[in-house]
Amino acid sequence: RIRPEVIPAEEINVTFEDIGALDDIKESLQELVMLPLRRPDLFTGGLLKPCRGILLFGPPGTGKTMLAKAIAREAGASFINVSMSTITSKWFGEDEKNVRALFTLASKVSPTIIFVDEVDSMLGQRTRVGEHEAMRKIKNEFMSHWDGLMTKPGERILVLAATNRPFDLDEAIIRRFERRIMVGLPGVENREKILKTLLAKEKVDENLDYKELSMMTEGYTGSDLKNLCTTAAYRPVRELIQQERIKDTAKW
Ligand code: ATP
């Protein structure tokens, strides 16, 4: 049986420092994730129940996956990334058993963050017409293990999920995510922070006007800004290649 990949905390290659802006979200995650995973003994029930489900929602490319990885690293938690596509492609035919194995594994390597990317495709509308029987089983199995966590206060497992389509999730699922955090498009000030973070370790023209660039990039996500910077970084390389080509042709 193929096991989902576990990334131990110390091997996670994203830190909070790599993420520009999103300060409030980082803070909320720290509060919601760190303590319950590190000190479950403080969460004795009643109002102090550990949070078992957090949903990050918002447009693609706004840093949801990065946030999930960085918080796992900070919390010293193992990171297991699952999505419907990994489950169906790798696990087809043994779906339910594998969902069970996922939770057993998560417990073994705990504290653990199970990150469900594109959660809408895995745990979306329960009664969708024509829904594949296998998908329904995966969903039910996942939910029953997840619910099981609520009754085990000492278990240090948290489900963190991301979606671009929160409206495709039904009530029952939304309710299980005790906290839902919107990761929206960055405004002008946050675009400036993201650009500064992305370029922090690069050689940059000292005349670069970050303010102007952030004003010019309205509607860009963090991922779009990253692409913009990568494209810009290629420019001198492209120019060099062009010059070498001219030199080569001159030889002929
Ligand atoms: P999707 O919904 O498509 O999975 P996502 O919201 O999970 O997107 P990420 O995968 O976290 O987005 O971000 C994509 C890439 O964009 C990151 O690898 C990173 O390079 C860049 N990026 C996004 N947001 C930020 C940010 N706030 N600071 C720095 N880089 C960012």
Task: Give residue for tokens 């490319």.
Answer: 61
| 219 pLDDT higher than 60 | yes
Tell me the best of 18, 202, 226, 230 to mutate to test the pocket of ligand 1, counting ligand atoms within 8 Å of each CB and taking the most. Answer: 226
User: Which three-class secondary structure state does DSSP give residue 53?
Assistant: strand
For ligand 1, atom 31, the nearest C-alpha belongs to: 222
- Residue 56 has which token pair? 């990050």
Rounded Cα gap, residues 231 and 181, in angstroms: 31
Q: Is 50 in the pocket of ligand 1 (CB under 6 A)?
A: no
The model's pLDDT over 151-206, given as tens digits with 9 standing for 90+, comes to 887 889 999 999 999 988 888 889 999 999 999 999 999 999 999 999 999 989 88
Average pLDDT, the chain: 88
Q: What is the DSSP string of 22-83?
A: -HHHHHHHIIIIIHHHH-GGG--BTTBPPP-EEEEESSTTSSHHHHHHHHHHHHT-EEEEE-
ipTM: 0.96
For 15, other C-beta atoms within 10 Å of its C-beta total 12
Tell me the best of 56, 66, 79, 183 to mutate to test the pocket of ligand 1, counting ligand atoms within 8 Å of each CB and taking the most. Answer: 66
User: Which three-class secondary structure state does DSSP give residue 72?
Assistant: helix
Rounded Cα gap, residues 250 and 252, in angstroms: 5
What's the pLDDT at 153? 74
Rounded Cα gap, residues 196 and 111, in angstroms: 33
- The larger pLDDT score, comparing residue 156 to residue 127, is at 156
Helices vs strands, H then E, count in the chain: 11, 6
Q: Is 83 in the pocket of ligand 1 (CB under 6 A)?
A: no
Nearest to 11 by CA among 104, 82, 81, 91: 81
| 136 pLDDT higher than 90 | no
Q: Is 195 in the pocket of ligand 1 (CB under 6 A)?
A: no
The model's pLDDT over 56-102, given as tens digits with 9 standing for 90+, comes to 999 999 999 999 999 999 999 999 998 876 666 555 556 677 788 88
pLDDT level of residue 122 (50, 70, 90 thresholds): confident
